[in-house]
Amino acid sequence: MIEEDNVFLVPKKGSSKDKEKDKENDKGVLKPQGKKLLPKDLHPNESILEQAHNEKNKKVFKKRKVEEVATTESDNTTAKRSRTGTGTGTDVGVSTISKVSDDQDMCEPETKYALTPSENQELYSFTSKFPGLEESYRILQKIGEGTFSSVYLAKPVAKNLLPKGIKSTVALKRIYVTSSPQRIYNELKLLYTLRGHKNVAPLLDVLRHEDQVVAVLPYYEHSDFRDFYRDLPLFGIKAYMFDLLKALEFIHSKDIIHRDIKPTNFLYDPFTRRGVLVDFGLAEIDMEPITNKCPCSFGGYTSNMVRQLNVDYAGQFPKNGYLKDDQRPGRRANRAGTRGFRAPEVLFKCNNQSKKIDIWSAGVMLLTLLSRRFPFFNSTDDIEAIMEITNIFGITEMKECALFHGLEFDCNIPKIKDKISLEALIANAVMMDCKEGDTFGEDSPAWELLAAIDKKGVIQDSEVGREYAQAITVLKKCMVLNPYERLDAKDLLKLPFFDEFRDIPQESGSE
Ligand X SMILES: Nc1ncnc2c1ncn2[C@@H]1O[C@H](COP(=O)(O)OP(=O)(O)OP(=O)(O)O)[C@@H](O)[C@H]1O
Under rule CB under 6 A, residue 194 binds ligand X: no
In this chain, which residue has its C-beta nearest to ligand X?
146
Confirm or deny that 173 is annotated as ligand binding: yes
Amino acid at residue number 500: E
197 scored as a contact of ligand X (CB under 6 A): no
Residue placing its CB nearer to Mg ion in the complex, 11 or 146: 146
Q: Give me the least distance between CB of 357 and Mg ion, in Å please.
A: 16
| Per-position x/- string for 26-65, each x denoting binding to ligand X as judged by CB under 6 A, each - no binding | ----------------------------------------
41 is catalytic: no
Is 422 near ligand X (CB under 6 A)? no
Inter-CA distances, 487 with 323, 358, 376, 422, 478, Å: 38, 11, 22, 17, 6
Residue 220 interaction partner, one of Mg ion, ligand X, none, beta carbon < 5-8 Å per kind: ligand X
- Nearest CB to ligand X, comparing residues 267 and 359: 267
Amino acid at 312: D
Give every CB contact of residue 336 below 8 A, 6+ residues apart in sequence.
20, 21, 259, 260, 282
Helix (H) or strand (E) holding 215: strand 212-218
Pairing relationship of beta strands 266-269 and 205-209 according to DSSP bridges = unpaired
Partner from ligand X, Mg ion, none binding residue 169, C-beta < 5-8 Å depending on class: none
C-beta of 217: minimal distance to ligand X in Å?
A: 4
Among 147, 310, 421, 482, binds ligand X (CB under 6 A): 147
Hey, CA dihedral for 458, 461, 465, 470, is it positive or negative? positive
375 binds ligand X (CB under 6 A): no
Q: Which of 91, 224, 260, 279 is labelled catalytic?
A: 260
* 78 lines the binding site for ligand X (CB under 6 A): no
DSSP string spanning 43-112?
-TT--HHHHHHHHHHHHHHHHHHHHTT-----HHHHHHHHHH---S--S--SEEEEE--TT--TTSPPSE
Q: Give 294-360 as a DSSP string.
A: -GGGGT---HHHHHHHTGGGGGG--SSS--TT--SPP------SBTTS--HHHHTT-S---THHHHH
CA distance 152 to 168: 14
Among 22, 26, 94, 146, binds ligand X (CB under 6 A): 146
Tally of CA atoms within 13 A in the half-sphere of 144 that contains its CB = 29
Residue among 279 and 467 whose Cβ is closer to Mg ion: 279
The site string for ligand X over 206-245 (x = CB under 6 A, - otherwise) reads: -----------xxxx-------------------------
Contact call for residue 364 and ligand X (CB under 6 A): no
Binding to ligand X by residue 201, rule CB under 6 A? yes
Piece of 44-52, 141-149, 284-292, 390-398 that binds ligand X (CB under 6 A): 141-149
CB of 281 to Mg ion, least distance (A): 7
**DSSP 3-state of 276:** strand
**Residues comprising the binding site?**
173
Going by the annotation, the residues of the binding site for ATP are 173
Residues that are catalytic: 260
